[in-house]
Amino acid sequence: MSRKKTERQLNLVICLLATRRFLTAREIRATVAGYSEAESDAAFKRMFERDKKELRESGIPIETGGGDIWNDEEGYRISRADYELPEIELLPDEAAVLGLAARAWRHAALGDAAANAVMKLRAAGVPVDSDAAPGITPVLGTDEPAFLPMWQAVRDGRAVAFDYRKPGQQTSARRELEPWGVVNVKGHWYVAGYDRQRQARRVFRLGRVTGPVVPLAGGRTVRVPENVDVRSVVSGQPHEPERVARLRVHADSAHELRRGALRVIPGTAEQGQHRWDVVDYPYTDLDQLVGTVARFGDRVRMEAPEEARAALVRHLSFVADQEPLEEDAEPVNGGAPEPESRRSASTAEQLRRLLMLVPYALSHDVRVPEVAGHFGLSEAQVLKDLSLLWMCGLPGYTPGDLIEVDLEAARSTGEIIIGNADTIAQPLRLTADEAASLVVGVELLGELPGMGGSDALKRAGEKLRAAAGAAADRFVDSVGVRIELTDEVRELQRRCDEALRAGQLVHLRYLSGYVDEVTERDVDPMGLVVQDGHTFLEGWCRLRQDVRLFRLDRVLDLTVLPYPAEVPSRARRRDLSGGVLQLSEDDARVTLDLDASARWVTEDYLCSEVRELPDGRLRATLRTPAPVWACRLALRLGPRARVVAPHDLAKRVREDARRALSAYEGAG
């Protein structure tokens, strides 16, 4: 980080805010501290252009206009009306809503934007508390590399080009898109827009974008057509007509298939034999059906249609004939991912921080430890920020022009006393990213139990839009979140919420996400979590004697018991910075070679690392506490994957496929 650069940019902001007329570049060079160090006109021009660009990217609205009256030289200034955050007053319930909305992005790509928005609101005296521990925790994930550049393209109204791999295809195709908006549906991000090659509206899942998203130069600014609701375009994608497969399912097995069945006909067991039930299962895609059935091995048999039966036999035959490798391959990455570092102290971040710190300190009794906690910095770094602020002010830079900071008080007692800073006494207006991140968070809250239709949500959203300005208001209409939970899950949400409020114990019949097994659990509820399109009950599991997350669409039955919940004092809510799935050193490591058509595995499951192989294949190392789950995944993938390591798991996958094939002897 360049201290001199931060000082120069802050001095430039103060100068352009204080002037009533446009200042030319020549005047800025002569009056703003820091630019005199440029050795030549060319060096100054490069320095000034970089500063303008970085300030505008930080949301500081530098405008251009007529300069010197004797020539046509362009001038610059910052309009206070565009710079300052309009007055916003939030009721306590509205402030709570915005604080919770910001939490949704805490571990995602727009986490800094949401945190900055909260700090600007707090700097304006709005009592937003983003650190409270609510009973409901919304979490938005943005693991897709294409998310941030696509979000920025929508924000800036720019067309983009990218490579896109459709489901089931081996190769990617180049696309040029005029993006209208990005929407999260059931935990996955999509972009909707006008496809220039197809000359029609299209929707693309961002997890299937391969390679970089490249902004296209020139052309008109992209606008959303009138009467087009981007959220409806994404969620209203046409669905293929359903067909029905007839399955025979081993008793007390394939619980996930049974939950999605149209009909289950209990079978009768002959003497000395297991009972087999008949299941009518709906499907739209043949390949997906084959994989879904294959993962249950010899516990599910395909009866009809014949094309599905034949496809399943081919699928299992490939796995059964696949010889395990002679030796285990080394995992792609044997260690856990490194934890994310604290926020970097870049020039842009430090400048934004100072522009928030000053109005916050002028309107609050704020101290060094509090500021350090808010910005994720050490107290020593906060003191460095204050010492930098002390060197900045209005052109002239005499004692009467410089900002006054009592550094001795800050060092000795932690008290922050700032004076002579009227020019930057008002907080900076929300950027489009900051406003949109909170609006999307508010939308997510509307999907939570007890929050839908909340008047506080509506009021907070309206006030936020008013404070953001016209440009940001246009952008927030182009982003959104749709959870789209079933009626059954929403009812479970409601009952969990009631148990939380009443402090009561609940009993669950729960289908494990790793193995085909149903267990009985008594759980002391601690909170609800919404992440990746799914709702989880977080609580103390008395069976496992630990805090666990239970996905509500895997809860077969929930009973609120007439006993008080008793969460042990040692129990702590889980850190979701790495997602709902938690890595452990005890996890098994499974290495798979994946065809291009199986890339979705790296999108949907937590991988230690992914490496590109020849011919578009991937080598991915997954970590799981239940190796049997990896076996089921390999059976599901069939010819699209190969277990590289461990060797024993590869042998088990082949043996399971052979046992399943024995039921189809003689099939074509």
pLDDT of residue 344: 36
pLDDT of residue 580: 53
Indicate the Cα dihedral angle 240, 241, 247, 251, nearest 10°: 80
Query: CB-hemisphere CA count at 13 Å for 548?
Result: 18
Q: How far apart are CA 83 and CA 230, in angstroms?
A: 29
pLDDT of residue 336: 38
- CA-based Rg of the chain, rounded to a whole angstrom? 29
Q: Residue 516, SS3?
A: coil
pLDDT of residue 342: 36
Centre a 10 Å sphere on the Cβ of residue 331 and count the other Cβ atoms it contains: 20
pLDDT of residue 57: 82
Nearest to 507 by CA among 490, 491, 495, 494: 495
The amino acid sitting at 60 is I
Centre a 10 Å sphere on the Cβ of residue 282 and count the other Cβ atoms it contains: 12
The DSSP H or E segment spanning 459 is helix 455-468
Q: How far apart are CA 309 and CA 463, in angstroms?
A: 58
In contact, 463 and 502? CB cutoff 8 Å: no
Question: Phi, psi at residue 368, to the nearest 5°?
Answer: -60, -50
Structure tokens at 211: 């390679």
Q: How far apart are CA 244 and CA 20, in angstroms?
A: 73
If you search the block for the tokens 């149903």, which residue do you land on? Answer: 518
Q: How far apart are CA 190 and CA 204, in angstroms?
A: 5
C-alpha pair distances (Å), 477 with each of 221, 399, 442, 455, 457:
16, 47, 13, 20, 16
pLDDT of residue 138: 65
pLDDT of residue 175: 94
pLDDT of residue 515: 79
pLDDT lower than 50: segments of the chain: 1, 133, 328, 331-345, 667-668
Q: How far apart are CA 22 and CA 30, in angstroms?
A: 15
Q: How far apart are CA 554 and CA 632, in angstroms?
A: 17
Measure CA 338 to chain center. 19
pLDDT of residue 204: 92
pLDDT of residue 343: 37
The amino acid sitting at 538 is E
pLDDT of residue 454: 73
Measure CA 599 to chain center. 19
If you search the block for the tokens 């052109």, which residue do you land on? Answer: 395
Measure CA 287 to chain center. 29
Q: Residue 535, SS3?
A: strand
